[in-house]
Structure 1
């Protein structure tokens, strides 16, 4: 009887008898039966933070130069207990994400060696590379977090590259699907797009 059976690691226990799953499956096959069951797992309850980002950019279609004119991020951090510290976390996430989106690229040669192994070849954002970002916090309250707060760990990082790619797409008409979106890649992609269309790209 099903009610008398207990599932164990790789087997079914019925009283003192332990039957491996393989034997249960073989017996079911011999009798023309189909084994089926249902299982559910809702996961561990946790807070979920949400961040959105927007950019205004200018692209020089002759050189591929990209300038960020405006950078805005809105964050759902629940009750912001320490606004200055949380804003710093968001700004740090934006800076890190801009590095991935615009500069940082791990290159590996045919021998499997990383060739961008020093900072002269692997550019990470300096203070001058990071534009000022406007940061806004949504007024929410989380039932699970301490004092109604949510975690802001990696959340600010997530929307930056997609938002930047969308802004570049809106400015140039060219969709970039790989990171980093470096200046030389922008130049070459615009050159290819101009060569494949009857009119030159002039939008900035």
Structure 2
């Protein structure tokens, strides 16, 4: 049949920290239901009590007799028994991920240039189901957050028109702009998530700008409260505080600091 929302249950979609947990819990529920059916059917086939049957390694063992899943499937086909299951998960309750970020930066007092010397993020995703994919999620979130913190700025003129409506005027980070980040996963397991996992989603984005602002504060003594942290904004703040040096004669890393 054609796709129709009237034919299916509500689906939250894979967004807002729902992908791993919601789909995973639904899959887990279906698998657990099917496992119960297999054990019950194996007991029926072998004449054993259900309490004497256990699903182990691609087979059900009943009172010492091992019946493979292939044998159970064949027996089900002969008897007209359908071994199938569905699983549902509404999205609640579920846990949230936690992330912390740290930067070591240098600020050029003659130009206002901010250079990221080191970037580190630690993430609590519970039991990481797919480490490579989860690491990519974290690195992507860091890149997006750096864009918001350092370059992206929607400008609107007096008539209400957006003047930064093309990428030539609205800078998003390229590979050359994004520093290499160290990513570490906490060794945890979540009681609510499938296999102990938690969703990661947008969480890596959240601590980046505050950490960068704290690093800037530690390096310059100035609290920057408006993004993006452009070099002209940094230089003007340094100048107002009497910390700027004229021209380009200042050492490149005139002030260095870390922030989390």
- Partner residue in 2 for 1:153: 201
Q: What does 1:89-168 align with in structure 2 at a 5 Å threshold?
A: 89-168=137-216
- Partner residue in 1 for 2:60: none
Structure 1: which 5+ runs fail to align? 1-43, 196-201
Structure 2: which 5+ runs fail to align? 1-91, 244-253
Of 217, 222, 225, which aligns to 1:169? 217
Counterpart Cα distance in 2 of 1:82 and 1:124: 28
Q: Which runs of 4+ in 1 moved over 4 A?
A: none
Give the number of equivalent residue pairs. Answer: 156
Counterpart Cα distance in 2 of 1:145 and 1:45: 9
- Partner residue in 1 for 2:65: none
- Partner residue in 2 for 1:14: none
Of 231, 237, 241, which aligns to 1:183? 231
Counterpart Cα distance in 1 of 2:139 and 2:227: 20
1:47 shift after superposition: 1.0
Counterpart Cα distance in 1 of 2:200 and 2:140: 11
Kindly indicate whether the alpha-carbon contact (under 8 Å) linking 2:106 and 2:255 is maintained by their aligned counterparts in 1.
Answer: no
1:141 shift after superposition: 0.6
Counterpart Cα distance in 2 of 1:166 and 1:84: 29
Counterpart Cα distance in 1 of 2:193 and 2:94: 8
Residues 76-114 of structure 1 show CA distances to partners (whole Å, capped at 9, x for unaligned) of: 000001111100000000000000000000011110001
Counterpart Cα distance in 2 of 1:107 and 1:67: 25
Counterpart Cα distance in 1 of 2:158 and 2:215: 34
- Partner residue in 1 for 2:98: 50
Kindly indicate whether the alpha-carbon contact (under 8 Å) linking 2:95 and 2:192 is maintained by their aligned counterparts in 1.
Answer: yes
